[in-house]
Chains A and B, each alone.
Chain A
Amino acid sequence: EVQLVQSGEEVKKPGESLKIPCEGSGYNFTTYWIGWVRQMPGKGLEWMGIIYPGDSDTRYSPSFKGQVTISADKSINTAYLQWSSLKASDTAMYYCARQGGPTIFFDSWGQGTLVTVSS
């Protein structure tokens, strides 16, 4: 069974850094792209970017480029989403999701990590 497991809620202060994981299991982690999706409170889905763990090829949405860093460690089947300096506006649920094939669709999703940034 394909599974993506994310960490629990994170509560941080503005200006702090954060790196949240997404661990894949049940499939060959290195051969599927992993994407990150933001959902702000009460809002819709926003695609942030995607990484190919096999060679760490990474693509960012123009809206998020320079704001976050996506990385992966294929030795432990884990992708990451990272901030160097959080803002209150980063408060949201963050999902990782596996791209299911050569076309753009996400066939398996993590349970989400809720990030709350507040002073």
Chain B
Amino acid sequence: QSVLTQPPSVSAAPGQKVTISCSGGSSNIGNNYVSWYQQLPGTAPKLLIYDNNKRPSGIPDRFSGSKSGTSATLGITGLQTGDEADYYCGTWDSSLSTVVFGGGTRLTVL
């Protein structure tokens, strides 16, 4: 059971928008920055969002991040079939003294 809770799966049609939630508590999301990662099938994770809402260079603005209280959200607009992947949120947990990840959300672009 992951410390951060994500929906196991989400789906949407090409061109549409989808959001993926990440719920935690005061010891993790509530008081620390959140990052998001994309893992395409058979590949290593890739950083999409850091510090709650910043995009590394090369990440299109179709990807966005936000945080409110003890929850964070990844948004993806203009969905493409190439976006089909597993998405993970991550942050530091001050009580556990460890980095924690969500269980991952599989995105299907129908």
Contact = CB atoms under 8 A, between A and B. Distances in A.
Which among A50, A97, A104, A111 has the highest number of chain B CB atoms within 10 Å?
Answer: A104
B90 A104 contact: yes
A59 B2 CA distance: 20
A105 B100 CA distance: 11
Interface in A29-59: 35, 37, 44-47, 50, 59
A17 B35 CA distance: 34
Nearest to A110: B44
Interface in B60-106: 88, 90-92, 96-104
Interface in A55-105: 59, 61-63, 95, 97, 100-101, 103-105
Contact of A109 (B2, B46, B96, B101): B46
A44 B50 contact: no
Contacts, number: 69
A110 B37 CA distance: 14
Contacts of A47: 90, 98-101
Contacts of A103: 32-33, 50-51
A21 interface: no
A61 B99 contact: yes
A38 to B, nearest CB: 11
B23 to A, nearest CB: 15
Nearest to A64: B98
A44 B90 contact: no
Interface in B10-36: 32-33, 35
Given A44-B2, A44-B104, A45-B88, A107 B47 contact: yes
Contacts of B45: 37, 45, 95, 97, 106, 109
Interface of A: 35, 37, 44-47, 50, 59, 61-63, 95, 97, 100-101, 103-112
Interface of B: 2, 32-33, 35, 37, 43-47, 50-51, 56, 88, 90-92, 96-104
